[in-house]
């Protein structure tokens, strides 16, 4: 019985770490792409099928949020709690499901990335069980 409890706690902790790492990777890579767009007019990303495509840096956030979501899906990002669920989702409200990341552009200058690590999803709990980051689209 003790080994089952230990394994359950270990598995739960691994899913939380995996969700946090997915979030961090999405924020960091999005920031890298913004920087690349400051230096060049196009960036090569993956489409949702994993094929390399060129994306125009002058396109607005209403297109770039989709380009980046497709890139992460094409890179095989998935929910750490449900591996069959591709991530991130293009939803404007905060996620309410463990392991889910919502990734969307505001249509102006911001891309918002929100991830739920553990239920209940809250950025204000102690410790936080969700994370919300903004990457400013300023190429």
According to DSSP, the residues that pair with 103 across neighbouring strands are 113
Whether this model's pTM surpasses 0.85: yes
The two tokens of residue 5 are 């409890």
**Contact of 87 with 78, CB cutoff 8 Å:** yes
pLDDT at 116: 97
- What count of other Cβ atoms lies within 10 Å of the Cβ of residue 40? 10
69-82 in b/e burial notation, b at 16+ Cβ within 10 A?
bbbbbbeebbbbbe
pLDDT at 11: 75
**Contact of 30 with 134, CB cutoff 8 Å:** no
pLDDT at 120: 95
Taking only the tens of pLDDT, the chain with its 139 residues reads 445 545 567 678 999 999 999 999 999 999 999 999 999 999 999 999 999 999 999 998 889 999 999 999 999 999 999 999 999 999 989 999 999 999 999 888 999 999 999 999 999 999 999 999 999 988 7
Examine residue 88 and say whether the peptide bond preceding it is cis (omega within 30 degrees of 0).
Answer: yes
The two tokens of residue 80 are 């750490």
The domain spans of the chain are 2-136
How far apart are the C-alpha atoms of 60 and 138, rounded to whole Å? 10
Going through the chain in order, the beta strands assigned E by DSSP cover: 42-46, 52-56, 101-105, 110-116, 130-136
Continuous H helices in 40-137: 61-74
């Amino acid at each position: 019985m003790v080994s089952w409890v230990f394994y359950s706690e270990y598995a739960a902790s691994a899913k939380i770490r995996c969700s946090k790492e997915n979030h961090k990777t999405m924020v960091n890579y999005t920031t890298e792409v913004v920087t690349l767009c400051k230096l060049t007019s196009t960036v090569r990303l993956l489409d949702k099928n994993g094929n390399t495509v060129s994306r125009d840096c002058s396109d607005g956030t209403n297109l770039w949020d989709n380009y980046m979501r497709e890139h992460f899906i094409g890179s095989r990002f998935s929910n750490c709690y449900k591996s069959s669920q591709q991530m991130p989702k293009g939803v404007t409200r905060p996620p309410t499901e463990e392991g889910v990341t919502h990734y969307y552009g505001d249509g102006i200058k911001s891309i918002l990335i929100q991830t739920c690590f553990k239920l209940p999803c809250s950025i204000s709990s102690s410790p936080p069980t969700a994370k919300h980051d903004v990457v400013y689209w300023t190429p």
